[in-house]
Structure 1
Amino acid sequence: MDKILFITTVEFRRPYNGGTMYSNAIFRCLEQAFDVDVVVLKDHRIFQNPKLHALSSLIKGLISRVPLNVIFHSSGIRALRYNPTNYKHIVVDHIEALGAINATDHPYVLIAHNLEYKLATDKLRNRFTQTLFQLSDRLRAYEYKGFANAKGVICISASEAAEISEVAHNVVQVLPSFPDRKLHNAKSEKIRFGFIGSADWPPNARTVGKLVSAILPTANRPMEFVLAGSGWADFGLNYSEQTRILGFVDDTKEFWENIDYLLAPTEQGAGVNVKICEALHFGVGVITNTESAEAIFGTGALPQNVFIANTNKELEKLLNQIEPFETRVSHVEFSQTRMSDKLVAFLAATGTGRSES
């Protein structure tokens, strides 16, 4: 069986957000066809003390053109206790892991969760450090170089795939997969809208803040807003009686069973894309914006349970008029077989590495 070295910066095998769910789905699919070794870079820091590691990252950031968050997460070639030449493919999960393979000059396939330069102000939130480290410009230059040097790039967004294709050799959009299981639809007299995501990610905070303060109060019918994710109970928002806070859910099944529609009018990113796909997999309706819909479906037709709201007024109108579906039907295939077949075919087309005898 051919071997793959999967290099990452976070332990994704117990997913806790959209990004780790996507990494885990890709890993599980690759496991079906390859012998996969995983390297989690943050387990191999030069300085194990968090303060020393942060200080060394800061110093390197001042004297290097490498983005600060890449320095912080990637420990370089010291982390690779495996010989890259022993593997058919090297799969690098996220640009923050690129430092570990760049020094080897070995062919690799890159998983691009997002175009990171577009998220720079949320990754490095202090305005002074944003200016000092020019994070957006550095990230764009760094990831564009990573795309250009890669034998292939895997991404979740069709829109970002188009941009990456301007500099990369081979790019493929691969939508995530989810386990097939029955959900119990807990019926309710009120229509239920839901949001899932942690409060410590700024785009989530901005979205929920807007929903709670400006959108949901306009509802003129009985409804419930179900809020899942860590940090919301203590976030300081003035929640109405129509809000039910689930908090962090170990199993998202509890969330999907208790909503009729996912509210995903959030700024574009891998996390919201994964959640939209998961909702559709389980037959839950989705209210999102054009940007997120096109990220998943391109400019093609949308499933019948996806609704678009690009403005506050359009969202308010949907919340007051839309009705729940009598039955939940998945209109899009998110099977592990589909995802695995697409990944295996794409890796074969890149021709990286060597075969195991």
Structure 2
Amino acid sequence: MKILMLASYLPYPLWDGGRIRLYNILKTLSKNHEVTLICEKRPKQSEKDIREVGKICKKLIVVERPDVWSLRNLAKTAFSLNPLLVTSHSSKKIKEAIEGELNAEKFDLIHVETFYIMENLPEVDIPIVLTEHNIEYEIYAKYTKKAKFFAKPVLFADVAKLKRLEKNFWKRADKLIAVSAKEQKIMGAGTQLVPNGVDIEKFKFKKLEKNKKVRKILFIGDFKWIQNRDSAFFIIKNIWPRIINETKDKFDLKLWIVGKNIPESIKKLKNETITFDENAPDQTELIFEDSDILLSPIRVGGGSNFKILEAMASGVPVVTSRLGNEGLGAQENSEIIICDLPEECVQAVLKLLNDDYYFEKIARRGREFVEKNFDWKIISKKLEEVYKSVVK
């Protein structure tokens, strides 16, 4: 098939879940299909990053993304029916690039990653497949509830715009794709489930060491996302002090918080048992190789968490919330450990630290689970089935 793919980001380096998903989908799809990608580029991304993505596409068109918080965008949002998220991704250059490709080539379908880039797509008679990584209006609504009281009216108005437009774009697509069952249910009948995946060749099962005294408990994520800021704060304030109090005479524990854009409000909580690392390797397989447990109590958001899949593939036991497992469906206390309350999370980590047999069971079964269900080759086949269903 000849596929025109639209995205609001250049999928390299593999900084976050969206980039990981799109990069691996492109990599596998390009073996059997001709894919043209039109996407936005952030200022931090280099020509080298563009070349890396160019290797896995038939054609790559990159447009510089304008400043989200420009006065122009803010004013435009205030006096329009579009939310800031859509306004900031509306681009004359992208519209021109899309129209140019549609006039020059005959595509079998258009694949759109996230609805807020669809504003740039003209009316077409080509099938459109839209993938949603999250229900954006739900995430923004949860954030707005926690905002300062004086900001809430403006933010709630933006959420209302977001909800209306997101649902309108769902109607415009010929087929919708969700990455977890929760989103699939909200998006309605006919929505297909194509979950996130993991590169099981890149993330190798690590050697398990018994009776270790020095242990690293990992939290990893990009802190521009609300859910990662919330989770890190929750760990530091509600979970970590209790773990240290229970283990100070038995283990030398370190909480290793890895990610870009860590806010000062979180960094100021540092102590001798907590390390903040914004310069860890981009090769996250090296991070998991140096970790013992992934602690990821996700309380906001949706989809399926790539870092959880990568940890499981690497043989790093995962302690997460029911929300964190929602897009995965791993078996509790066999392939993954589930906790929602702080004390439950404390006890889960302590059991892994104190019981080597239990630790190894979770690690090995977690790896088996992702091999069977989340290899990118399996995920891409599911996506190809969706394509076939809309292409006449």
Q: What TM-score comes out, normalization by structure 1 length?
A: 0.85
> 1:111-151 CA deviation, whole Å, 9 max, x = no partner?
10100001225888786666336121121111112222211
Q: Write the mapping of 1:238-277 to structure 2, written as runs, cut at 5 A.
A: 238-248=269-279, 249-269=281-301, 273-277=305-309
- Give the whole-Å Cα distance in 1 for the aligned partners of 2:263 and 2:127: 46
Q: 1:114 to 1:83 in 2, by over 3 A?
A: same
Determine if contact 1:74/1:97 at 8 Å carries over to the other structure.
yes
Partner of 2:228: 204
Identity %: 22
What RMSD in Å do the two structures reach over aligned CA positions?
2.9
Partner of 1:107: 127
Q: Write the mapping of 1:45-56 to structure 2, written as runs, cut at 5 A.
A: 50=67, 54-56=70-72
Partner of 1:78: 96
Partner of 1:62: 78
Determine if contact 2:84/2:158 at 8 Å carries over to the other structure.
yes
Deviation at 1:289, TM superposition (A): 1.1
Q: Write the mapping of 1:307-346 to structure 2, written as runs, cut at 5 A.
A: 307-323=337-353, 325-326=359-360, 328-329=363-364, 330-332=367-369, 333=371, 334-346=374-386
The alignment covers a number of residue pairs equal to 344
Q: 1:341 to 1:199 in 2, by over 3 A?
A: closer
2:162 alignment partner, SS class: helix
Unaligned runs of 5+ in 1: 353-357
The one-letter code sitting in structure 2 at the alignment partner of 1:36 is V
2:160 alignment partner, SS class: helix
Q: 1:41 to 1:229 in 2, by over 3 A?
A: closer
Q: 1:192 to 1:146 in 2, by over 3 A?
A: same
- Give the whole-Å Cα distance in 1 for the aligned partners of 2:88 and 2:182: 28
1:86 alignment partner, SS class: coil
- Give the whole-Å Cα distance in 2 for the aligned partners of 1:348 and 1:259: 41
Determine if contact 1:165/1:171 at 8 Å carries over to the other structure.
no
The one-letter code sitting in structure 2 at the alignment partner of 1:322 is L
- Give the whole-Å Cα distance in 2 for the aligned partners of 1:155 and 1:86: 27
- Give the whole-Å Cα distance in 2 for the aligned partners of 1:191 and 1:205: 23
Partner of 2:175: 152
- Higher RCO, Cα 8 Å, sep 6+: 1
> 1:4-57 CA deviation, whole Å, 9 max, x = no partner?
111011111322112211222222222122110110146547xx8749x82332
- Give the whole-Å Cα distance in 2 for the aligned partners of 1:69 and 1:123: 14
Determine if contact 1:177/1:336 at 8 Å carries over to the other structure.
yes
Determine if the alignment matches structure 1 residue 87 to structure 2 residue 78.
no
Q: 1:190 to 1:207 in 2, by over 3 A?
A: same
The one-letter code sitting in structure 1 at the alignment partner of 2:177 is I
> 1:256-276 CA deviation, whole Å, 9 max, x = no partner?
112222111122436761211
- Give the whole-Å Cα distance in 1 for the aligned partners of 2:388 and 2:186: 23
Partner of 2:217: 193
Q: What TM-score comes out, normalization by structure 2 length?
A: 0.78
- Give the whole-Å Cα distance in 1 for the aligned partners of 2:143 and 2:9: 16
Unaligned runs of 5+ in 2: 42-61
1:236 to 263, 267, 278: 267
- Give the whole-Å Cα distance in 2 for the aligned partners of 1:104 and 1:56: 29
2:38 alignment partner, SS class: strand
1:96 to 104, 109, 116: 116
> 1:165-196 CA deviation, whole Å, 9 max, x = no partner?
24xx3422323231413354484423432100
Partner of 1:355: none
